[in-house]
Chain A
């Protein structure tokens, strides 16, 4: 089509713009894509790898450079590099495709890892591997929400996975000692929260060792504290009840 004709305009293609409002004015800088997040995380240390040019704009796409007066008024300096650094650190940025992709992927892994850590196969009492959980998450088409914490999402995933495979939160092993007076009443209240009662010992006090779902821990804790007014005690024997050691067939 056309022959390449040099112009005296430098076009900034594929720019990631970082904006900041300061002193009532809007400033922009032109950065390379997929670099700003790295810079903020400290992985990229070379400023020239981040900035397309060391100048501060009012509007990058129109190529309007900010006036020196405005800069000094807003930033108190006219050192462009220093201003650029400030804008890089504090401005609002556009997340590029690769950045978003890697962020989601990391989060996906993170969720899978949390799920794998928290759950067991109820048949074998052994954890599932992260790979397997990842596969299962893909099977149920779980989509990661970037603005929710991975822990929250992991709990959501566990609920969804229960429908498609044999999976269960690893039980906590608790031991509590209840004073004899309230024991009977309290036991009735606790009963729906306990999964498995491993041992029960009733002489002066009621002593129980049982497995519970970790989600109920707060509730049990509160119940015992309130009902016994501090005379009952609760002890976590193990956070996760899983099989230990290797098993050979």
Chain B
């Protein structure tokens, strides 16, 4: 088989009946890429000797080093079967869980899949996952049972045992398929039942025959096509490393000639419990019962076993020769002499039973061509967002026809699906290489180069260096090009070009064509009503949401690590498209018709959950990092990148291996700077709770105890300006002793907190309205906003009930922090009728009364102080949440205080400042302020700045802030942690370990249920964000990948333990000891945050004084 030239492939692309789009799926290390190598070798792209060792499609350096595939890559192959010529667009996919998103991108573009299963390991977690993915995408799978040589060489099974083993594996695979099938049938049935229920309700007819059991339905549904069975021809037994593989058709043909039994009969009996009765020359049933060898063992496996025995185990030269002649295989003398028996073996096998033949034959016969695309799959792809296909506009439904016919006429609409974007070096693009040679000459020289290359490879071929093949010695073509390649300018070298990995589903893609890019939320019905359906993409329409235009600047044929430029690509082919990086982020649907709906989003098995914060090593390289992260985001279908409010750049990946790859990419390709990844900052909230009724050992606390517990922390805190009474009321005086505030902190009910959090946006609007009202301006408020505000107020009134909260809602002074947060400042000052935050409502309801209420001077300072206090709490400077501060007293004393000698001076200062910072529009000042009058105000106002404590407004802000903090500390304080909800799918056998991991990380299981029709459990749990670092990894390790968690932020939760707790009662002493140094979760969190922020942590520098080294430093 020679090299198929580009022209040949272009010619083949035009015949969709002979195109096969397929991908190779399997668990990690089951031999996908090795199998792909064998197939690639048939086209002469790599030497068949190197097949299985080169891993041609693993073009990344880290893929070669680690030995796992990390991306899906496509290659077009040419295959001739008799007089039929086929074009195979083969996509190799990664098997590692972390890269299952790459599998999704591959599966979407294919019509069929080769599922590879390791003959020793059998069905593994990822095997199940890929079977599920193939099932969900409605693509037809075929099975390759790989690594059969391991059964012989490693496990040393007899052929009989091996047969049983293979049978078991086949059963396992079919069981998985069966489960998928039953769950689908059950789901459909449930839907039908629902419909029927509705019908019943409508018609009220009672019919007895409506009752049927589920098994009946299962039997009704036809599933015979689904299963893998050798006699159906969709199973190949292979050993890709040794280069052999067969399906039973091949043997059936061989033996029908030899033994004179009909091929059809053999085909049916070669797999199964049949044996050959030598005397009767008949094939009989029941081999196992009679202790006879099955036909498969006798005719197939025994031959292979004896070959291995001769070549590998015993190295019997004579026998080898006998076998070789009987098989009619010609061997090179070099292979015969080779010291490694594997070389000889693969030389024999690759001629006797070449794996590529068996697999390609099966693929061409069993997998559908693009023409045979199932109507159901088309409907599923096109019905986005749970919409029924029937509900789509008519023009859209018409597109289905184009789909099914796979027509590539000039008038047919072009539909292309882009499943991912990948980055290549700009200089690797074909148009940037210089091409002075024609293709024929190229091919010729490439052949020569390859020959040289292959020979030099084969010479040192036994060494372990094969795996270290690096891209620099790369594709032979590059070797050739080096001679003529002058290289682009230096700055261009940095450049990465994005190429879309796509497939044409209908029409012909032409270079330079303008197409619509349909976003995932694009609605054809809406668009069709807005634009003329005949509109073409050349006239760009911008007004339609989620629709944009772009030009396909270049089209490429994907040849593994190489790209070949094409002029046009007809329907049914996988291709690369350049020039889309601006308009397509990760995946998209392209079409020339606006009636085309966007395809349903890719179905990802693993969602990104591993979060790390990324920083450049040198802070000045920040812009480079940001640019690099943008590129990474586009290049990786599964990675998420975001900038958090804290300024952290967070990268979210699917797993640790995926993370490593993303970091490598960032370092070497996209950002090209040194970076460091660390645990992201975890946010906390501080709150207060009601005083506890029981102590830590569940003893009931008496009244006096309660107070003791509350106050133990703040002994000796009272000073000249600060007074704390037993009820938690804090009174604080400003340093110049002019103003005094009394504040009490109270916990808000949890519902109120969450309500305030939800309506942050509304509160922001409310605050804006209030601000403009204060200036006497009137703002037009839309009716809907007003209603929403009224709604919020009534809800608050409902939630805040009881004696303590009487009239509380009307007295709300402000919200905080940042004026919108979940904390409330309450005005309980007697005799201070301040317009509440709801004044915009009042304006409508009772406009007259609002005028009577006035704002005091320095009102703003109180609010500012409150905002500052709620922004950073006393525990670890984190924002407060769910705390209500009630201002119970607010006096601005007469300035003639006894402490100050020069009362007149002070007087003027006080009034001067009062006057200065008087809020615009307030007509009345305090009682003293009013008497002060304009004369005093005219005194030199600079006097205020002469006050050694600064302006009064500033002092009041500070005093208010301090008072709030002390009031907060007078209550039992608690830390709040962010919680993830964690949804876990796990099989029954790892359920225990799931619980173990959750328990270790302070998780709590909410509920668990079994998924109908499968053995999977769905567990819902909550887990503190602080404990989630490394969670996914530990989870996978503990459950061998059989359970996969998904984390979503859900809510804030109070940690019940008190960070400042020390034992106080006798029982507690007994239980916890004097030091009480048992683990305190909230203390742990609090100290970690304080340490990070450089705050004081109450910790001993050395634990035991005596245990210090008591020697001089130099000894």
Contacts and interface: CB of A to CB of B under 8 A. Distances in A.
| B and A form one assembly | yes
Interface of A: 13-14, 32-35, 37-38, 41-44, 49-50, 98-99, 102, 105-113, 116, 120-121, 123-124, 126-133, 135-136, 139, 150, 164-167, 177, 221-222, 225-226, 229-230, 233, 235-236, 238, 242-249
Interface stretch (B85-93, B644-652, B786-794): B644-652
A246 B645 contact: yes
A233 B920 CA distance: 7
Given A130-B1093, A132-B615, A229-B941, A247 B1101 contact: no
B618 A139 contact: yes
A126 B650 CA distance: 14
B1106 interface: yes
A109 B937 contact: no
Nearest to B953: A221
A126 B643 contact: yes
Contacts of B1111: 13-14
Contacts, number: 144
A225 B916 contact: yes
A99 B1101 contact: yes
Given A133-B619, A229-B938, 18 more contacts: A33-B1102, A44-B1100, A105-B1094, A106-B1095, A108-B1094, A109-B1093, A109-B1094, A110-B1094, A129-B613, A129-B646, A129-B647, A129-B681, A130-B1093, A131-B678, A166-B623, A225-B944, A236-B864, A248-B641
Given A123-B623, A127-B646, A249-B633, A49 B1105 contact: yes
B919 A248 contact: no
A35 B1105 contact: yes
A227 to B, nearest CB: 10
Given A233-B919, A246-B643, A249-B642, A164 B1098 contact: no
Q: Which of A99, A132, A150 has the most CB of B within 10 A?
A: A132
Nearest to B945: A222
Task: Identify which of B613, B618, B640 gathers the most chain A CB atoms within 10 Å of its CB.
Answer: B618
A166 B620 contact: yes
Contact of A247 (B620, B643, B1091, B1109): B643
A120 B622 CA distance: 12
Contacts of A222: 945
Given A37-B1101, A132-B615, A236-B864, A127 B647 contact: yes
Contacts of A126: 643, 645, 647
A106 B1094 contact: yes
Interface in B836-875: 860, 864
A14 B1109 CA distance: 9
Contacts of A249: 629-630, 633, 641-643
A13 B1094 contact: no
**Interface size, B (range):** 35 or more
A230 B941 contact: yes
A134 to B, nearest CB: 9
B1101 A112 contact: no
A116 B648 CA distance: 12
Interface in B1081-1099: 1091-1096, 1098-1099
B1105 to A, nearest CB: 4
A242 B818 CA distance: 12
B1108 interface: yes
B622 A32 contact: no
B581 to A, nearest CB: 14
Contacts of B1099: 43
A21 B559 CA distance: 88
B1110 interface: yes
A41 B620 CA distance: 39
B537 to A, nearest CB: 27
A68 to B, nearest CB: 27
B1098 A124 contact: no
Contact of A132 (B619, B919, B938, B1104): B619
A246 B620 contact: no
Contacts of B338: none
B920 A248 contact: no
B834 interface: no
B918 interface: yes
B1092 A130 contact: yes
Contacts of A247: 642-643
B942 interface: yes
A99 B1101 CA distance: 7
A33 B919 CA distance: 57
A33 B645 CA distance: 43
Contact of A128 (B619, B1104, B1106): B619
19 contacts: A14-B1110, A44-B1100, A99-B1101, A102-B1101, A106-B1094, A106-B1096, A124-B647, A131-B615, A135-B618, A136-B619, A165-B620, A166-B622, A167-B619, A226-B942, A230-B916, A233-B917, A238-B818, A247-B643, A249-B641
Interface in B56-106: none
A242 B1104 CA distance: 46
B1104 A49 contact: yes
Contact of A34 (B860, B919, B1102): B1102
A13 B1110 contact: yes
B617 interface: yes
A110 B1097 CA distance: 12
Interface string B524-558: 00000000000000000000000000000000000
Given A130-B1092, A130-B1093, A164 B1102 contact: no
B915 interface: yes
Interface string B308-344: 0000000000000000000000000000000000000
Contacts of B642: 246-249
Contacts of B630: 249
Contacts of B916: 225, 230
A120 B640 CA distance: 24
A136 B262 CA distance: 82
A226 B646 contact: no
Given A109-B1094, A164-B620, A121 B647 contact: yes
- Most chain B CB within 10 A, of A38, A116, A177, is at A38
A218 to B, nearest CB: 9
B660 to A, nearest CB: 20
List 8 tightest A-B contacts by C-beta distance, closest first.
A109-B1094, A110-B1094, A32-B1105, A127-B647, A165-B619, A126-B647, A136-B619, A249-B633
A35 B1106 CA distance: 11
A221 B938 CA distance: 18
B1096 A41 contact: yes
A122 B1067 CA distance: 57
Interface in B609-664: 613, 615-620, 622-623, 626, 629-630, 633, 640-648
Given A124-B643, A164-B619, A230-B937, A42 B919 contact: no
A33 B1113 CA distance: 14
A164 B620 CA distance: 7
Contacts of B623: 123, 166
A62 to B, nearest CB: 19
Nearest to B819: A238
Nearest to B1099: A43
B496 to A, nearest CB: 16
A49 B1102 CA distance: 10
B53 to A, nearest CB: 39
Interface in B993-1032: none
A112 B643 contact: no
Nearest to A13: B1110
Contacts of B944: 225
Contacts of A121: 622, 647
Contacts of B1110: 13-14
Contact of B1098 (A41, A128, A131): A41
B617 A135 contact: yes
A116 B617 CA distance: 17
Given A110-B1095, A111-B1094, A244-B645, A230 B1101 contact: no
A41 B1098 CA distance: 8
A109 B1090 CA distance: 10
Contact of A246 (B644, B818, B941): B644
